[in-house]
Chain A
Amino acid sequence: MKNFILSFFAISLLFSCKNEPNKLVKIEGKLLPITKETESVKEIEDYIAPFKKKVESEMSSVLSYTPVDLVRTDALNESSLGNLMADLCYERANPVFKSRTGKNIDFALFNFGGIRAGITKGNIKTENAFNLMPFENTLVVAELSSEKIVELCNFLIKANTAHPLSKQVKLVATKSGYTFTINNKKIDKTKTYFVLTSDYLQNGGDNMVFFKNPIKLHKLDYKVRNAIIDYLKETDTVKVKLDGRFIMK
């Protein structure tokens, strides 16, 4: 009996020893920046090298040429780069849309914030298209009621920003009101309109809520970036101009 008790205690003691609880006593947190002071692991660099070579050669392939800098900030309510983007997307998307529906897109609208980088004059490379449009956004056509088109106008006037609009549109806003035409025609209350934009904006991105719940949504399965690349590939020299498609007086 005594032996039993002894060994029992020995075991329980051992057990409690081994399971002496570890308690959290101190937490330290800090930020470690990765700078040029940190050396590279050669094995990793060597692994990356062939991919890097391939990507760099793809990115540096010349697609087109621009004699001027293309920027989004060369006018108040439009821009050379914004006009180009809206017009080229319309040009690339309309045949796709027409072949599926038999109808034409009325106009295109994108957002100023979606122009992610300018293009310096000279050769335009694949890299420029990626910098301009790094996201995988795709083109969609939203069928909107005339009321939603009015909402869209009011949004543009209130935003007073160079949101890219395609050339089919002319918007002149004054203190007392505005005129808005699509292909030189005023908004027809009995008509619905086909507006080209990106899936991101159609989902209400950048507060363009008028795109939500359209009468019908047509997904074109065509990435914005691919439309840009395809357009540039078939265009020798890009020509853009500011044409006053949106003016605030």
Chain B
Amino acid sequence: MKRRNFIQKSSAAAALLTVGGLGLESFAKKTSKQITILHTNDTHSHIEPFDINHHNYPNMGGVARRATLVENIRKENPNTLLLDAGDIFQGTPYFNYYGGEIEFKLMSMLKYDAATIGNHDFDNGIDGLYAQLPNAKFDFVSSNYNFKNTVLDTHVKPYKIFNKSDIKIGVFGIGIELKGLVDNKLYKETKYLNPVEIAQDMSRILKEDEQCDLIICLSHLGYHYTEKHSKIDDLTLASKTKNIDLIIGGHTHTFLPKPTVTKNSAGENVLVNQVGCYGLNVGRVDFHFDSDKNITSKGKSIIV
């Protein structure tokens, strides 16, 4: 009892001793931080807005407009990441004429932070993708494609960690099975590994080894397939993994009006989002962190 008393006094004294130092101020001030994730998928070489007479998307989209939107949000919150879930290539003559150079250069101008690889990104072959990499000032992440025996070996990372105001954000990539979808002569010796097993490994590495506060999966698997397809999709991936906070999807060109909230293998909430295609939309997910126990004790709220 006496000992405890002493400790309390000592710590009080110690705290007083550090007045004016770096410790006390940060202690008194409860920190709240916000991480903003912006994302696109399946932009498919859509550089310009759709024609004003287009039957589906009149005057929508456009990279120069996307740049304004991203710039404004970055001004509002510098702790912003801009991500893409693949299929950057193919869909307009810009790709056929310039092979993806413009797409990557524009994404670099918009300061994309990371992207994963979609099946159409192999449309000019793995060599075509490799040739355009110098134009990308951002990293490609893919954890379930083994590029060991290809030109992409060492050029694509399984994951990347971003540090924004002391919040560690781990971003890893998952790709779709290429066999039957892409001609073998295009992807060559790229090996496809089981997305669920790899995602389980990745989330464990990012959570336990790397101590990430936030884990994001960039997936090109597709949002959802009916059972007869027996193909792995984002909703299944979410249910069979844990510690992933957000799955940013692509491939199925699914227009989700808001992120889907679903449960992971530990019964916790995961968000799955996908914003259609062609750069018509940007998805935005804000993660609010707090150190105030009065706030954190109330748990996590999700507003979608």
Contact = CB atoms under 8 A, between A and B. Distances in A.
A199 B183 contact: yes
A6 interface: yes
A234 interface: no
A27 B97 contact: no
A184 interface: no
Nearest to A130: B93
Contacts of B301: 25-27
Contact of A30 (B13, B33, B284): B284
16 contacts: A6-B13, A9-B14, A10-B14, A10-B15, A25-B300, A28-B285, A29-B285, A34-B65, A35-B60, A39-B68, A47-B106, A48-B47, A48-B48, A48-B63, A51-B47, A51-B102
Interface of A: 5-7, 9-10, 13-14, 17-18, 20-36, 38-45, 47-48, 51-52, 54-55, 58-59, 127, 130, 134-136, 138, 199, 203-204
A29 B93 contact: no
A22 to B, nearest CB: 4
A35 B110 CA distance: 18
A25 B279 CA distance: 30
A138 B259 CA distance: 37
Contacts of B287: 24, 26-27
Contact of B105 (A33, A45, A47): A47
Interface stretch (B135-143, B200-208, B291-299): B291-299
Contacts of A32: 69, 281-284
Given A25-B296, A32-B281, A41-B64, 14 more contacts: A6-B13, A10-B14, A22-B167, A24-B288, A27-B303, A28-B286, A29-B271, A29-B273, A31-B281, A31-B283, A32-B283, A44-B63, A47-B106, A130-B96
Contacts of B288: 24-28
| 6 nearest CB pairs, A to B | A40-B64, A10-B14, A29-B259, A22-B289, A41-B67, A26-B288
Interface residues of B, number: 80
Q: Which of A26, A36, A134 neighbours the largest number of chain B CB atoms within 10 Å of its CB?
A: A26
A22 B164 CA distance: 12
Contacts of A31: 256-258, 275, 281, 283-284
Interface in B233-281: 245, 256-259, 271, 273, 275, 279-281
A14 B71 CA distance: 37
Nearest to B213: A22
A48 B102 contact: yes
Nearest to A51: B102
Interface string B178-197: 00100100000000000000
B59 interface: yes
Interface in B135-190: 166-167, 180, 183
Given A40-B62, A48-B47, A9 B97 contact: no
Nearest to A44: B64
B31 A28 contact: no
